[in-house]
Structure 1
Amino acid sequence: MIYDGDKVLVQQKVDDDYSDITFPGGHVEKGESFTDAIIREVFEETGLTISSPVLCGIKDWTNEDGSRYMVLCYKTSRFTGQLASSDEGEVSWLTLEQMKHARLAEGMETMLDLFLHDDLSEYFFYQEDGRWNEVLK
């Protein structure tokens, strides 16, 4: 999450299957550190160069095949550059109040708590009786 005062940077994804609001981010490339990956992904998707990203939690789940998937959540208020949308989606600044009324991607409202509360560090999904459950710890 990139924030500037009371506003956070969001991205409206441009994908036929996924067009809700989320945070910029992406995947780690071979031989790349997690920190370098988030700096690169944010630049590619927003035009901003961030610095001093702080790891503030993880979002994770176990897939049906037993493999584990983890998303590392970083936040920072340090950035330079001009905001520019990309092929990934349109980027803009929203206040937390505006986010309450926006069409957020599934789980974004809960994930926002992970970014905003220092006593939380994990957003975990698990299946039980064929149903997905979520826990914020």
Structure 2
Amino acid sequence: MNRTEVVTITNMCMVYDGNTVLVQEKTDDDYCGVTFPGGHVEKGESFTDAVIREVFEETGLRISSPVLCGIKDWSNDDGSRYMVLFYKTNKYEGKLSSSNEGEVYWMEIDDMKKANLADGMEKMLEVFLKENLSEYFFYKENNKWVDVLK
């Protein structure tokens, strides 16, 4: 049995200061709405270095000590897998600046729950905030997507 699969690995980081979180309003046609900054892990790059780089590129802030707090993953129709590694940190420095990925700004966590969130962000937020959750998983059953928090 071949246990090898093609995997795309990405990340997302909740940068927080008390009850305030750094959000990004994505304007991409494929993924838009309020979310956390993040992006792709480059080939040969460590996961931690990738999330630090992505947050800097999209926000102008240099984060440190990001903690892995969960994942989102699913299998595509072609058999490949897509994974989003969730990190959080309250350690950052620098001057906040938006990028072509979307506007970035600080928001109260309770206000974020009411915002125009990017697809799936409501459930992803649960993984970021609840200690007993670590995965947001998708699978197909009878040609319909089913999502589960674990």
TM range (shorter): over 0.9
Pairing 1:91-130 to 2, within 5 Å after superposition = 91-130=104-143
Q: TM-score, normalised by structure 2?
A: 0.88
State the Cα RMSD in Å. Answer: 1.0
Runs of 4+ with >4 A deviation:
none
| Equivalent in the alignment of 2:65 | 52
CA distance in 2, matches of 1:11, 1:18: 12
> Does 2:45 align with 1:7?
no
Q: Which amino acid aligns with 1:94?
A: M
Q: CA deviation at 1:117?
A: 1.1
| Equivalent in the alignment of 2:44 | 31
CA distance in 2, matches of 1:116, 1:18: 22
| Equivalent in the alignment of 2:3 | none
CA distance in 1, matches of 2:15, 2:112: 14
1:11-36 C-alpha deviation (Å, 9 max, x unpaired): 01122443311110000112210000
CA distance in 1, matches of 2:136, 2:107: 23
Q: CA deviation at 1:101?
A: 1.8
Q: TM-score, normalised by structure 1?
A: 0.96
1:60-114 C-alpha deviation (Å, 9 max, x unpaired): 0010111111111000000000110001100011112211221001110110010
Structure number with higher strand proportion: 2
> What SS does structure 2 have at the residue aligned with 1:3?
strand
* Structure 2: gaps spanning 5 or more residues: 1-13
CA distance in 2, matches of 1:44, 1:78: 16
| Equivalent in the alignment of 1:85 | 98
